[in-house]
Amino acid sequence: MTKEKFDLTGRVALVTGSTRGIGKAIGDAFEEYGATVIRHNTKVCDLADAAAVDAFFDRLEAEGALPDILVANASVQAKIPWTEFPLDEACREIQVNFLATLRMFQRVYPKMKSQGWGRLITVGSVNERRPHPDMCVYAATKSAQENLVRGIARQVAKEGITVNNLCPGVFNTDRNRECLADPVYGPKVTAAIPMHDYAVPEDAAGAALLLASDAGRYITGATIMVDGGLSLPG
Ligand SMILES: NC(=O)c1ccc[n+]([C@@H]2O[C@H](COP(=O)([O-])OP(=O)(O)OC[C@H]3O[C@@H](n4cnc5c(N)ncnc54)[C@H](OP(=O)(O)O)[C@@H]3O)[C@@H](O)[C@H]2O)c1
Give residue ranges with CB within 6 A of ligand 1: 16-17, 19-23, 41-43, 46-48, 73-76, 96, 123, 125-126, 168, 170-171, 173-176
The alpha carbon of 73 and the centre of ligand 1 are apart by a number of angstroms equal to 7
What's residue 1's pLDDT?
77
Q: Please, what are the domains in the chain? A: 2-226 (3.40.50.720)
Write phi, then psi, for 73 (nearest 5 degrees).
-105, -35
What are 194-210's pLDDT values in tens digits? 999 999 999 999 999 99
The half-sphere exposure of 43 on its side-chain side, counting CA atoms within 13 A, is: 4
pLDDT digits (tens, 9 = 90+) for 146-181: 999 999 999 999 999 999 999 999 999 999 999 999
**For the chain, percent of residues with pLDDT exceeding 90:** 99
Q: What distance in Å separates the CA atoms of residue 19 and residue 44, rounded to the nearest whole number?
A: 10
Predicted confidence (pLDDT) per residue in 116-148, tens digit: 999 999 999 999 999 999 999 999 999 999 999
